Amino acid sequence: MTTAIYFILVLSVLVFIHELGHFLLAKMVGIRVERFSIGFPPRMFGRKIGETDYCISWIPLGGYVKMSGMVDESMDATISGAPWEFMSKSVFQRFLVIFAGPAMNYLLAVVLFAAVTWSQGERHPAGAVVQSVSDNMPAALAGVQAGDRLLAIGETPVETTTDVKILIEQAGANTPIRLTLLRGADTVRISTTPAFNPELGRPVLGFNMRQAYEYSPVGPGAALASGFAETIHLTRMIGSAFARIFDGSESARDSLAGPVGIARMVGEVARTGMIPLLRFMAFLSLQLALLNMLPIPVLDGGHIVFLMLESIMRRPVSIRTRMVVQQIGMVFLLGIMVFVIFNDIRRLFL
Residue among 295, 304, 298, 288 nearest 330 (CA): 298
Range of the domain at 154: 123-216
Among residues 19, 159, 268, 310, the one annotated as catalytic is 19
Phi-psi region of 197 (alpha: psi -120 to 50; beta: other; left: phi over 0): beta
Residues with Cβ within 8 Å of 151's Cβ and at least 6 positions away in sequence, in order, are 127, 157, 158, 180, 181, 182, 187
Give the domain-ending residue among 182, 216, 250: 216
Tell whether 236 is covered by a domain: no
166 within some domain: yes
d(CA 208, CA 190): 17
What is the structure's pLDDT at 253? 67
Q: Name the residue type at position 26.
A: A
Q: Give the pLDDT score at 33.
A: 93
Chain Cα centroid distance, residue 300: 17
146 and 207 assigned to the same domain: yes
For residue 185, the domain's CATH number is: 2.30.42.10
d(CA 333, CA 296): 9
What local confidence, expressed as pLDDT, does residue 350 receive? 62
In a domain, 99, yes or no: yes
Is the link from the previous residue into 125 a cis peptide, with omega within 30 of 0? no
**207 and 295 belong to one structural domain:** no
The reply to whether 141 and 197 lie within a common domain is yes
pLDDT of residue 255: 66
For the chain, 350 residues long, give each residue's pLDDT as a single digit of tens: 688 888 888 989 999 999 999 999 999 999 999 999 998 888 899 999 999 999 999 888 788 899 988 876 655 556 777 889 988 899 999 999 999 999 999 999 999 999 999 998 888 888 889 999 999 899 999 999 999 999 899 989 988 888 888 898 888 888 899 999 999 889 999 999 998 888 878 888 999 988 888 888 889 999 999 999 999 999 998 888 878 877 777 766 666 777 777 888 888 888 888 888 999 999 999 999 999 998 888 889 989 999 999 899 888 888 788 888 888 888 887 888 787 778 777 776 66
Residue 70 belongs to a domain: yes
Q: Which pLDDT score is estimated for 319? A: 79
The three-state secondary structure class of 187 is strand
How many folded domains does the chain comprise? 2
Q: What is the pTM of this model?
A: 0.79
- 234 in a domain, yes or no? no
19 is catalytic: yes
Q: State the DSSP H helix or E strand holding residue 178, giving kind and residue range, or none if neither.
A: strand 177-183
Q: Pick from 216, 248, 266: which residue ends a domain?
A: 216
Question: Is residue 261 a part of any domain in this protein?
Answer: no
Same domain, 173 and 131: yes
Same domain, 82 and 131: no
